[in-house]
C-alpha cells in the first residue's frame, strides 16, 4: 500500500505501548478489512510530527480483497489524518524496507516576519531571511557518497554512516522555501540535521563551507541544530522495476478504482 499521513497527532510511525502511532492506526484499520490481525512493515519509520505523502507499507494476509476493496475498506476505518492512496499484491519475498533502493524527502520552511496559523505543524517558521544562493552552494557540497556521521542522530543505529545523496535541490515560492533530497538511504535525523545546518548558513550565522567541514570532522557533537520535525515529509520510495510499484516521476501511484 501507498500511504500518506499528517504526523502532527502521532508519536511517530512505530508501535508504542502508551502512545498513538501511525502503525497502530493502520494495523487496526487493515485488520478490520482482512478479518484477521496483521503486522505492517514500512519503507521508512518517521519520527513524531513528521509527515508522509509516499510511505510504502506491506503486510501478509490470507484475506483476498480487490485493490479497490483494500483501499476503500481501510480508509473507511482510518482517521482523517491517515489515508491509503493505492494497493496492489506483491511477491511473497517483497519487503517495504529492505527492497527499497532509494528514498525522497522534502523539508518546508516558512520565511516571514510573523508566525502562520495555516502552516502551523506543516512547515517550520523562521523570521530570519534565508539566502537561497548560500544554501544551494552549501547543499551542493553534500551531494555524492559521503560519511554523514556529523549529520546523524547520536542514537542512530545504522551500521554504516556512509550514504549516497543523489540530489539536494532548494527552491522558493513566495514565503515558502523547500528542500528536496533523494538518497539510497537516510540516517536517523539526517534530513533534519542537514536542514538545520543549511538554515544557519542561509541566515549568515555560518559559512558556506561549513557543510564540507562537518563531513570531514565526522562528529555529530560538532554539528548544527536539528531542525524541527513538522517541516519534514517522506515523499516517495524507489523499488526495483520488477515489483511494479510507483516510482518518482512515473506519473504517480497506480489507479485503484
Positions marked active-site = 47
Beta bridge partners of 178: 108, 171
**Quick one: cell of 199?**
538554515
Element housing 211 (H / E): helix 210-217
- Cα separation values, 101 from 44, 82, 143, Å: 12, 25, 17
On whether the CB atoms of residues 22 and 6 are closer than 8 A, the answer is no
**Quick one: cell of 89?**
499484491
- Cα 141 from chain centre: 22
Beta bridge partners of 41: 58
- Cα 60 from chain centre: 24
**Quick one: cell of 55?**
510511505
Amino acid at each position: 500500500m501507498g500511504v500518506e499521513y499528517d504526523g502532527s497527532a502521532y508519536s511517530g510511525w512505530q508501535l508504542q505501548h502508551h502512545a498513538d502511532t501511525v502503525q497502530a492506526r493502520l494495523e487496526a484499520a487493515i485488520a478490520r478489512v482482512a478479518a484477521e490481525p496483521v503486522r505492517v512493515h514500512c519503507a521508512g519509520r518517521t519520527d513524531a510530527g513528521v509527515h508522509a505523502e509516499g510511505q510504502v507499507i506491506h503486510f501478509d494476509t490470507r484475506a483476498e480483497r480487490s485493490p479497490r476493496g483494500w483501499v476503500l475498506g481501510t480508509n473507511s476505518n482510518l482517521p482523517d489524518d491517515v489515508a491509503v492512496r493505492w494497493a496492489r499484491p506483491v511477491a511473497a519475498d517483497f519487503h517495504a524496507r529492505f527492497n527499497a533502493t532509494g528514498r525522497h524527502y522534502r523539508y518546508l520552511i516558512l520565511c516571514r516576519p510573523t508566525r502562520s496559523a495555516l502552516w502551523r505543524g506543516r512547515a517550520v517558521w523562521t523570521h530570519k531571511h534565508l539566502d537561497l544562493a548560500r544554501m544551494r552552494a552549501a547543499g551542493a557540497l553534500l551531494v555524492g557518497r559521503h560519511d554523514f556521521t556529523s549529520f546523524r542522530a547520536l542514537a542512530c543505529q545504522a551500521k554504516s554512516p556512509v550514504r549516497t545523496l543523489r540530489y539536494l535541490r532548494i527552491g522558493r515560492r513566495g514565503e515558502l522555501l523547500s528542500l528536496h533530497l533523494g538518497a539510497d538511504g537516510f540516517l536517523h535525523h539526517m534530513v533534519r540535521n542537514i536542514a538545520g545546518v543549511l538554515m544557519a548558513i542561509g541566515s549568515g550565522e555560518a559559512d558556506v563551507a561549513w557543510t564540507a567541514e562537518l563531513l570531514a570532522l565526522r562528529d555529530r557533537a560538532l554539528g548544527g541544530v536539528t531542525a524541527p520535525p513538522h517541516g519534514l515529509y517522506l515523499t516517495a520510495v524507489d523499488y526495483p522495476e520488477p515489483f511494479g510499484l510507483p516510482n518518482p516521476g512515473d506519473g504517480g501511484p497506480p489507479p485503484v478504482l
